[in-house]
A and B are shown apart, each in its own frame.
Chain A
């Protein structure tokens, strides 16, 4: 059981490690967001908030963003496996569909975590500081939960998709709104009713809020509430994913 999960996990890490261009390319976007937003909105944010530093607010948001995108992509990789035929090899093996789901979720989540850690060190270069090791430990827990949830979500979606045709649809109508309405870039205050509502059912809202609470000391809901919500959602999405995987026909 453990070894099966390990070999599934290892395969994904090898893929990640061997495509250096993907590794580097996916760092461009968070770096661009960090630099342009801090220089563009930094002084406005400081004035409006009465002296707070925008980088402290933004850094956890951008770390969450990079985890979100990497995790969803890793989950959606199953569609490539399907198109290149490798999925069949895994699906005819005498292993439970739950093992497949766990192995793939952990593999994708690990990659997303690595990506998140790289971005976190970029924020350090730009001047962002985490107050203590305990804060960092809490932060890592939130990063991991965000990674698990969104890899699981990507896998669940991929189990229902036959090819990459629907990819744009999912990016623009699901992943982008999840990102923009999560409070990663701006505080979720004084919003119109509809936007306010959507932001409250956005799973990433609680991930970002928890991470920000942990490493920057700013939280709207309280980090334990955030932890409960994102933890519960992660378990739920994995269960749904395992169920959908048991129904896959290659």
Chain B
């Protein structure tokens, strides 16, 4: 099996704080790879570096055979991303948002209309394409972002917490889309999530990051075996501890919330 994504000793330092420390991993072509970790562990910082919006302090990233630091445009054309926070233009319609994407990703003009229609149909938004995004619900925005990320036929799709804040119906439908993309189009999926049962259900390979380091990786079975636990969630809690973390998006600050070290009851 070939690796669509390969990361070597990736490090990111912010002033006096190291968010990601020398991490290395490979993602096999055609697999679903789950990247897990508590808040502030370094997940988003890593995704930002993988998707070329943040410069690493040191290390190598290879996406689809392209060096993500030197051959940025080829690497960028190889992946699609759904960010953790919304990244749609709310003053445009859904259709206009996707056309914008198709043009900046240089989708051939002849194929554009057809690809856009297909992507919108996959997520069930074709009938609502002329609506302004500001009139969309949270779940519809998420689905639109996924549809948008598919239009340029990425080899690998990054999903940073794609189902956060969504109802079970929408989560179900999003995961079934993701699984069918993976199966039918052989698209590699790289995802982060806080829902351990979701990761357990879909992921072929898992890596758990904490305090900027990868502390465990392998298949769900391997991880459960090594940690002697029954579920991924138990394994996760055993590996990363039960303290509540500070949630900080930029990754500048990280640490335990003082005075909040109480145990989470299950």
- Asked if A250 meets B53 with Cβ closer than 8 Å, knowing A85-B87, A86-B89, A94-B77, the reply is yes
1/0 per residue A68-100: CB within 8 Å of B?
000000000000000011101111111110000
Which A residues touch B90, using CB under 8 A?
84
Whether the pair B83, A14 counts as a contact (CB closer than 8 A) is no
Q: Does B103 contact A (CB under 8 A)?
A: yes
The interface residues of chain A, by DSSP majority, are classed as helix
- Asked if A88 meets B92 with Cβ closer than 8 Å, knowing A3-B103, A94-B73, A250-B53, the reply is no
Whether the pair B76, A93 counts as a contact (CB closer than 8 A) is yes
Whether the pair A88, B73 counts as a contact (CB closer than 8 A) is no
Q: Does A11 contact B (CB under 8 A)?
A: yes
Q: Does A249 contact B (CB under 8 A)?
A: yes
Which B residues touch A15, using CB under 8 A?
91
Whether the pair B51, A92 counts as a contact (CB closer than 8 A) is yes
Which B residues touch A170, using CB under 8 A?
none
Partner of B86, one of A3, A84, A91, A93: A84
Which B residues touch A7, using CB under 8 A?
99-100, 103-104
Q: A94 vs B99: C-alpha distance in the bound complex, in angstroms?
A: 15
Whether the pair B92, A85 counts as a contact (CB closer than 8 A) is no
Interface bin, chain A: 20 to 34
Which B residues touch A95, using CB under 8 A?
73, 104
CB distance from B49 to the nearest CB of A (A): 10
Q: How many residues of B contact A (CB 8 A)?
A: 29
Q: Does A47 contact B (CB under 8 A)?
A: no
Whether the pair A91, B53 counts as a contact (CB closer than 8 A) is yes
The interface residues of chain B, by DSSP majority, are classed as loop
Q: A71 vs B239: C-alpha distance in the bound complex, in angstroms?
A: 54
CB distance from A85 to the nearest CB of B (A): 4
Residue of B nearest to A7 (CB): B103
Whether the pair B85, A4 counts as a contact (CB closer than 8 A) is no
Whether the pair B92, A92 counts as a contact (CB closer than 8 A) is no
CB distance from B230 to the nearest CB of A (A): 38
- Asked if A88 meets B53 with Cβ closer than 8 Å, knowing A4-B104, A93-B76, the reply is yes
Which B residues touch A20, using CB under 8 A?
none
The contact sample of 18 A-B pairs, CB cut-off 8 A, is A4-B104, A7-B99, A8-B104, A11-B100, A14-B96, A15-B91, A88-B53, A89-B89, A90-B104, A92-B52, A93-B76, A93-B104, A93-B105, A94-B76, A94-B77, A95-B73, A96-B73, A250-B54
In the complex, besides A86-B88, A94-B77, 20 extra interface pairs with C-beta distance below 8 angstroms are A8-B104, A11-B92, A11-B100, A14-B92, A15-B91, A18-B91, A85-B85, A85-B88, A88-B53, A88-B87, A89-B100, A89-B101, A92-B53, A92-B81, A94-B74, A94-B76, A94-B104, A94-B105, A249-B48, A249-B53
User: Which A residues fall within an 8 A CB radius of B?
Assistant: 3-4, 6-8, 11, 14-15, 18-19, 84-86, 88-96, 249-250
